[in-house]
């Protein structure tokens, strides 16, 4: 009986310690909305790509992340070098629990996307969370440190 109690206690502790999947809005997008950078990049994309991004967002609201990923991959065929589409893919892969894929896409945005503003911060947040879920603490720390570099503050005016 004592052994059974010990096992149940261990299961309870391990369950409490289990990592939960990151929430795209709470962990990535909402903090980045308050980025405070005077420089922000808004990509120019064809209307078809914006339409597919909106469809992917509708799938996200229904927690249909694999459908969102398929939709974003269609958008990527239209605009293959779009950091915005790549960022959305990174976020959906993160929400789906495909952390290696999320890391890959977030690294692409980090390396090729804007170096200031909201998209910059979002990419580094995904990078940090994916690295955390994969146990890559050094990469996680580097991504967290890099978030501050996305902010370009206004110069004082005299």
In a domain, 157, yes or no: no
The CA-based angle 19-87-102, given to 5 degrees, is 35
CATH number of the domain within which 116 lies: 1.25.40.10
Predicted confidence pLDDT, tens digits, the chain (158 residues): 444 444 433 443 343 344 577 777 677 766 655 656 555 566 788 999 999 999 999 999 999 999 999 999 999 999 999 999 999 999 999 999 999 999 999 999 999 988 888 889 999 999 999 999 999 999 999 999 998 888 877 677 77
pLDDT digits (tens, 9 = 90+) for 9-27: 344 334 334 457 777 767 7
**Residue 31's pLDDT is what?**
64
**Residue 35's pLDDT is what?**
54
In a domain, 11, yes or no: no
**Residue 21's pLDDT is what?**
73
In a domain, 1, yes or no: no
In a domain, 63, yes or no: yes
Q: Are 111 and 121 in contact (CB under 8 A)?
A: no
In a domain, 44, yes or no: yes
Q: Count of domains in the chain?
A: 1
CA distance 152 to 116: 7
In a domain, 10, yes or no: no
CA distance 59 to 37: 30
DSSP code of 135? T
**Residue 74's pLDDT is what?**
97
Domain range for 66:
21-150
In a domain, 92, yes or no: yes
């Amino acid at each position: 009986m004592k052994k059974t109690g010990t096992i149940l206690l261990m299961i309870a502790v391990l369950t409490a310690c289990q990592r939960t999947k990151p929430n795209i809005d709470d962990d990535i997008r909402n903090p980045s909305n308050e980025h405070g950078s005077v420089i922000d990049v808004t990509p120019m994309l064809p209307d078809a790509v914006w339409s597919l991004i909106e469809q992917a967002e509708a799938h996200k609201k229904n927690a249909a992340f694999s459908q969102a990923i398929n939709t974003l991959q269609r958008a990527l065929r239209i605009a293959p070098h779009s950091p915005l589409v790549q960022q959305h893919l990174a976020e959906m892969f993160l929400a789906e629990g495909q952390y290696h894929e999320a890391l890959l896409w977030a690294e692409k945005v980090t390396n090729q996307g804007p170096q200031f503003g909201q998209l910059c911060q979002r990419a580094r947040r995904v990078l940090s969370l994916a690295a955390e879920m994969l146990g890559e603490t050094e990469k996680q720390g580097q991504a967290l440190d890099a978030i501050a570099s996305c902010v370009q503050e206004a110069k004082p005016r005299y």
